[in-house]
Chain A
Amino acid sequence: MLSRVALAATAAPSLKNAALLGPGVLQATRIFHTGQPSLAPLPPLPEYGGKVRLGLIPEEFFQFLYPKTGITGPYVLGTGLILYALSKEIYVITPETFSTISIVGLLVYVIKKYGASIGEFADKLNEQKIAQLEEVKQASIKQFQDAIDLEKAQQALVQKRHYLFDVQRNNIAMALEVTYRERLHRVYKEVKNRLDYHISVQDMMRRKEQEHMVNWVEKQVVRSISAQQEKETIAKCIADLKLLAKKAQVQPVL
């Protein structure tokens, strides 16, 4: 009954939301599940079930009778009902009764003796299952955490990118400088080459002119010396030589 009220309460808002849609609005906006999602997160399972006395009768019955009859009410009611059923033979005593009594007695004895240990065993199995799932969950959480840390580290690296760019910029500037100087040097060499060429051309011209002039002057001089002048100069040279020879002969004696 309570669940029915809860269902009605959750159905009402979603119905109201559906009623707001006109026939033409359906294409424009579709309202999906707008009710409270009741599935996540799940509330944890209750620890113990409802209390039951004698393994058969829920506690609520005892609480129901407590205000009117006190503590012993339900037990007296039970005894009275059993005696009534026996005496009026609503419950018939047959040979089966004795087998029933022995079976029920055995069951009660076994349950009383081994119930707790079986419960612990089941609890341990449950715990193992839960521990496994928890492990998986923790492993997956750890994986995600590691991924997050990696991402953060890489993001931090992004902040240091400017070092890389500075180095690259420096490299490029240096390369530019080097090529600039290289070209400057080349320009200088080329210009010097051209100037040297002009200088050497000038030198050569001057040398050639000098030689030519010298040759021409020699040739003119040689030409101007006529044959007669040649004989006279040769005779003079011989007379001078003889004089010098005489002088030379005289000199060593002294």
Chain B
Amino acid sequence: MASVIPVKEKKLMDVKLGELPSWILMRDFTPNGILGAFQRGYHRYYNKYINVKKGSISGVSMVLAAYVLFSYCLSYKELKHELLRKYH
């Protein structure tokens, strides 16, 4: 089902499920585009949680928690040797 607004300009939340592959494919994957995406993501997070007058700890703790999760995922392979039970 074609939508009224062209897929290119829509935000992720407005994209319908069937259009998701086409939406992903038409993203800008050049190095410039990827850099721009990182920059935008950084600035969105920064301006929402850190660049405020009364920032809370959550601005930092969310980043740390994400780092903890990411490093856990990376080290899961070694942790597999310390499983308590063999069959789950």
Contacts and interface: CB of A to CB of B under 8 A. Distances in A.
Given A2-B11, A89-B88, A93-B84, A49 B55 contact: yes
B22 interface: no
A111 B56 CA distance: 10
B32 interface: no
Interface string A133-159: 000000000000000000000000000
B52 A47 contact: yes
Given A56-B58, A92-B83, 16 more contacts: A45-B51, A46-B52, A48-B52, A48-B53, A49-B49, A49-B52, A49-B54, A49-B59, A52-B49, A52-B58, A55-B58, A56-B62, A56-B65, A58-B62, A89-B88, A92-B84
Nearest to B44: A3
A96 to B, nearest CB: 9
Contacts, number: 68
Interface residues of A, number: 27
Interface in A53-67: 55-56, 58
B57 A111 contact: yes
Nearest to B64: A56
Interface string A151-194: 00000000000000000000000000000000000000000000
B79 interface: yes
